[in-house]
Structure 1
Amino acid sequence: MSSVLEIATVHGPAHVHLDEPDAAPRGLLVLGHGAGGGVEAPDLLGARAAALAHGLAVARVLQPYRVAGRKAPPPAAQLDEAWAAVVGHLTASHPGVPRVHGGRSSGARVACRGAATLDPALRPVAVLALAFPLLAPARKDGTRSDRRPEIDAVTVPVLAVSGARDRFGIPGETSTREVVVLAGDHALKARGPVRDAVGGWLERTVTAVRP
């Protein structure tokens, strides 16, 4: 069953594309989109397919600035506040199931920041980081901001999926972070390989929390 929810945030409404499995969900995967993109990105659809196949509900979150038709994202604090409002609503509507937060590119950054800073009751059991951008685009002087601290601050299990030619860099493995490198670039357009990479990890993650 699929539906689109409108959820109020302090920065305007967010739209949540919610897909529910046929049976009661074993968990909930919440996904954010890239900076100028939307919830139909191939890697997000691949992750959705994997989650539904393993009995999870999936919520793909369209941030308020994209609902309003803008492509340029607002400051990170506004993205995080809207994300927190949506996560709060979804936590209330899906009580008692493990929640995995994630997204692609900018959405992965938001999910990582939230995993470290959200109210403890709203934090996820794991994070799915698709095309996490370790480095920002180059400034005029050629320097690039390092986003590594955002993903390094996550203490729950992380799966990072990146394209081998991602110009923004690829996260490294740690004791809590698995890394899968697929053919392709930052766009991660190969939906099937993303689905295959995500499915087994989601199954292990949810089973570890809720057998």
Structure 2
Amino acid sequence: MDGIETVETVETDAGTARVTWHRAKKPRLVLAVSHGAGGGIEARDLQALAAVLPGHGVSVALVEQPWRVAGKKVAPAPKTLDVGWRGLWPTVAKPGLPVVAGGRSAGARVACRTATELGATAVLALSFPLHPPGKPEKSRADELLGAGVPTLVVQGGNDPFGKPAEFPKGSHDLIEVPYGDHGFAVPKRAPIDQDAALEIITDGVVRWIASLG
């Protein structure tokens, strides 16, 4: 059946990482996706993608950076995150399929910074932190625009790290999750519920992956 789950640990120069596989029965692509600086692979969007995508021929590799595996509460510097990601890349590329590099928040930045170097087919940037909250002048747009491969941004309409309208024009696609915050949570008073918000994410990613050819 689709969504078969296996877990592997991977030694990297930044420490031991962990990859939780949700495999498609007949995969044509791998989505390797990591968490942000304040949470793990239990994030609602990552879990939704892992549940849905295997049914569409995409094996999902949920990646836990070494600092998370070690039980630390604070993420290390971006360069160290990149080291961990580079070290586990051979594991997600091992099936010999095209790999989409993905991540949420800090993980999205890592995917963008390393996509060309690692040979990623595309980048999925969930809740890309365009700037620190309240500091739009400290833009990280260069990381996004420099990914060098087809890129999809999925952004909450109320994300304090960058609302969809703040994103620069570029070759990337962008899907807005109305009323969503940085974790894609929607308020109870919103006209869409949480399940509908997650469906916007999964449906959009399925369509985008299909368009990659």
Structure 1-normalised TM-score?
A: 0.87
Contact map agreement 1:32 1:60 (CA 8 A) in 2: yes
Indicate whether 1:124 and 2:124 are aligned: no
Pairwise CA distance, 1:173: 4.3
Matches within 5 A, 1:42-53: 42-53=44-55
Residue 116 of structure 2 corresponds to residue 110 of structure 1:
no
1:78 equivalent in structure 2 = 80
2:147 corresponds, among 146, 154, 159, to 154
Instruction: Using the TM superposition, give the Cα deviation of residue 66 of structure 1 relative to its aligned residue in structure 2, in angstroms.
Output: 0.7
AA aligned to 2:121 is V
2:136, 2:181 → 1: CA distance?
A: 21
The residue that corresponds to 1:68 in the other structure is 70
Percent identity between the two aligned chains:
39
Q: CA 1:39–1:168 in structure 2 vs 1: closer, same or farther (change >3 Å)?
A: same
2:190 maps to none
Q: Gaps spanning 5+ residues in structure 2: where?
A: 186-196
Residue 12 of structure 1, CA deviation: 1.2
Q: In structure 2, give the amino acid aligned to 1:78.
A: T
Inter-partner Cα distance in structure 2 for 1:167 and 1:114: 25
1:101 shift after superposition: 0.6
The residue aligned with 2:205 is 198
Using the alignment, how far apart are the partners of 1:163 and 1:173 within structure 2? 17
Deviations 1:67-113 (A, max 9, x none): 1111211111110011001112221x211x21101111011001001
Q: Indicate the SS of the match to 1:181.
A: strand
Residues 92, 99 of structure 2: 8 Å contact kept: no
Q: 2:5 — aligned with what? A: 2
Counterpart in the other structure of 1:12: 15
Which of 15, 36, 39 does residue 38 from structure 2 map onto?
Answer: 36
Runs of 4+ more than 3 Å apart: none
Amino acid at match of 2:153: A
- 1:134–1:2 Cα change, 3 Å: same
Partner SS, residue 124 of structure 1: coil
Higher relative contact order (CA 8 A, sep 6+): 1
Q: Which residue of 2 aligns with 1:135?
A: 131
Letter in 2 for 1:161: V
- In the alignment, structure 1 segments of 5+ residues that lack a partner are none
Q: Residues 145 and 172 from structure 1, CA distance in 2 versus in 1: closer, same or farther, beyond 3 angstroms? A: closer
AA aligned opposite 2:110:
V
- What RMSD in Å do the two structures reach over aligned CA positions? 1.6
Q: CA deviation at 1:192?
A: 2.1
| Partner SS, residue 12 of structure 2 | coil
Contact kept? 2:48, 2:198, Cα under 8 Å: yes
Distance in 1 separating the partners of 2:87 and 2:9: 11
1:186 aligns with 2:182: yes
Q: How much does 1:50 deviate?
A: 3.9
Q: Quote the residue 1:163 is aligned against.
A: 156
The alignment's TM-score, normalised by the length of structure 2, stands at 0.86
Please give the alpha-carbon distance, in whole angstroms, between the structure 2 residues aligned to 1:102 and 1:50. 16
Residue type at the aligned position of 1:62: E
